Amino acid sequence: MRLTTKGRYAVTAMLDLAIHAQNGPVSLNDISGRQGISLSYLEQLFAKLRRNGLVASVRGPGGGYRLSRADTDIQVAEIVDAVNESMDATRCQRKGDCQSGQQCLTHHLWLDLSDQIHAFLSSISLNSLIQRREIQDTAARQEEQAASRIEALLREDEVAV
């Protein structure tokens, strides 16, 4: 069992959105720049997140996305589930046909592990992640790096003119 890029990127993007939500709607372009996730991939993820009621889009100038409810009410497991990410440690997708159509010896062990992982991620809200000092430090570093990139691009434009 492993959490694929889709689930990791969805959680990362939602955490970025939650961190920057106090400034109004957040554009996917801004998330892409801070997190190094392609814009087209974010668009696919946010379509699923919107369909599952985790984000709402805001149109017009200054538009983007916002959380559809408080960051204290959005759990990491919901985000992973919304993008159809499997947290299944079994080889049989929980069907019990893992060994020539029959349950393997360790089927229930892997089922229990899958359930424990889901329960663990269900106990973690976006807000509880935001409160962690190391996440705050990382977000601040990413903001500084994004600002530096923008300044460098502006300087390049001035030189070109």
Please, what is the average pLDDT of the chain?
91
| Stretch 9-36: mean pLDDT | 95
What are residue 67's DSSP bridge partners? 55
Burial profile 127-143: b = 16 or more Cβ within 10 angstroms, e = fewer? eebbeeeeeeeebeebe
Check pLDDT > 90 for residue 13: yes
Residue with tokens 């997708």: 93
Q: What is the pLDDT of residue 100?
A: 83
Beta partners for 55?
67
For every residue of 44-92, DSSP letters joined together read: HHHHHHHHTTSEEEE-STT-EEEESS-GGG-BHHHHHHHTT-----SSS
Residue 56 is predicted with a pLDDT of: 97
d(CA 52, CA 37) in angstroms, rounded, equals 21
* Confidence (pLDDT) at 2: 61
Question: Which of these ranges, 33-37, 121-125, 144-148, has the smallest mean pLDDT?
Answer: 144-148
Residue 9 has pLDDT above 90, yes or no: yes
Query: What does the pLDDT read at residue 161?
Result: 64
Taking only the tens place, the pLDDT of each residue in 66-106 is 999 999 999 999 999 999 777 778 888 778 888 888 888 99
In this prediction the pTM is: 0.86
Q: Which amino acid is at 102?
A: Q
CA distances from 28 to 35, 103, 123, 151, 155 (A): 10, 44, 27, 20, 24
- State the residue for tokens 């960051």: 71
